[in-house]
Amino acid sequence: MSIKVLLVDDEEEFTSILSERMEARGLNVDIANTGPAATQKVKEKSYDAIVLDLAMPGMDGIETMKQLLEENPDLQVIFLTGHATLEKGIEAVKLGAVEFMEKPVDINKLLEKVSEAKTKKDHLTEKKTEESIKDILKKKGW
């Protein structure tokens, strides 16, 4: 099963090139060029990792992440930005980002982080499924 990634960045040329490179390595990639577009896509489809730009016009990356995690707290968000500051990186991680990387990014390092995010998401999903089964068994008295 391939890894499903949502790239969120207002730089369309960047997302186009990065998505091609990721798809060439077997990933399934969707693109959103704004925060609101990203939140809409997350409502419609499940993703293993969200690769999110920090500095976007309108709704920035931090606000976008807050809304995405409100929609689905298990989302694995990786910030990828050309406008990194230590303060923003710390804020992003405190708010729930799993990684904070700078552009230009080494594609292999990014793919490694995306793979780790999928593993973490799979583990969270598995744990929730086990808890649901336990609840059902308790209620049924089996």
Q: Which of 12-21, 22-31, 41-50, 74-83 has the lowest mean pLDDT?
A: 74-83
The residue-averaged pLDDT of 34-58 equals: 95
In angstroms, rounded to a whole number, what is the distance separating the alpha carbons of residues 4 and 8? 13
Helix H or strand E encompassing 57 = none
Cis peptide before 104 (omega within 30 of 0): yes
pLDDT for residue 84: 66
pLDDT for residue 1: 62
Question: Is the Cβ–Cβ distance between 59 and 34 less than 8 Å?
Answer: yes
Percentage of residues in the chain with pLDDT exceeding 90? Answer: 82
Q: What domains, with CATH codes, occur in the chain?
A: 4-140 (3.40.50.2300)
Helix H or strand E encompassing 121 = helix 107-140
In angstroms, rounded to a whole number, what is the distance separating the alpha carbons of residues 74 and 128? 10
pLDDT per position as a tens digit, 80-134: 988 767 788 888 999 999 999 988 899 999 999 999 999 999 999 999 999 999 9
